[in-house]
Amino acid sequence: MSAHAQVEALPPGLTGPKLAVWWFLASEIMVFGGLIASYLVLRLGGTGWAEASQHLSPTLAAVNTLVLLTSSYTIVRAFVAAEHGDAGGLRVNLALTVVGGLIFLGLKAVEYTTEIRAGFTPGAGIFWSFYYTMTGLHALHVLGGVVVNVVILAATRASLERPHRVELAGLYWHFVDLVWIFLFPLLYLS
């Protein structure tokens, strides 16, 4: 079967690039899923986890949750603008998405600084090892999404000609938000 025939065999609406993004996201689900499952198994079998998590700021994490959820809305608006050829709407909404990602990273840096100054480093206990690993990996994914969205923003004209690029960036951004929706209650509210 030729490569062209294989692409034609995809369901309607599922392009090769979209399938690639979904495969990438599936691999990322395995990474975060493994971390979350390990965290849950160790937390359920150990003691002292609740005391350690009380040093975190649920308020700051809730603000970060709101920021990420809002940025999910703006990436959807950017895609709609791209589909309709609205360069201004695309630029504004992509810029808002990028700003949301940067606010998230800034608040995470404040949180890390506060925790490290209080002596809660990755070596301070198993909870802190998981906390920094999971939130640090998530922050790297947010940073990656910010970079992708900046590149798309810089190429507004090309993004209008190929709105699927904005859609693919949106799929990734929604994944990053979804991971945070799991991390927030696991780490901050338990």
* Domains observed in the chain: 58-190 (1.20.120.80)
- What pLDDT, on the 0 to 100 scale, is given for residue 4? 52
Q: Is the pLDDT of residue 123 over 70?
A: yes
Global confidence as pTM = 0.88
Q: Distance (Å, rounded) from C-alpha 142 to C-alpha 81?
A: 22
Inter-residue contact 104 to 62 (CB < 8 Å): no
Inter-residue contact 55 to 115 (CB < 8 Å): yes
Identity at 79, one-letter amino acid code: F
Q: 71: exposed, middle or buried (C-beta count within 10 Å: 0-12, 13-18, 19+)? A: buried
State the average pLDDT for the chain: 90
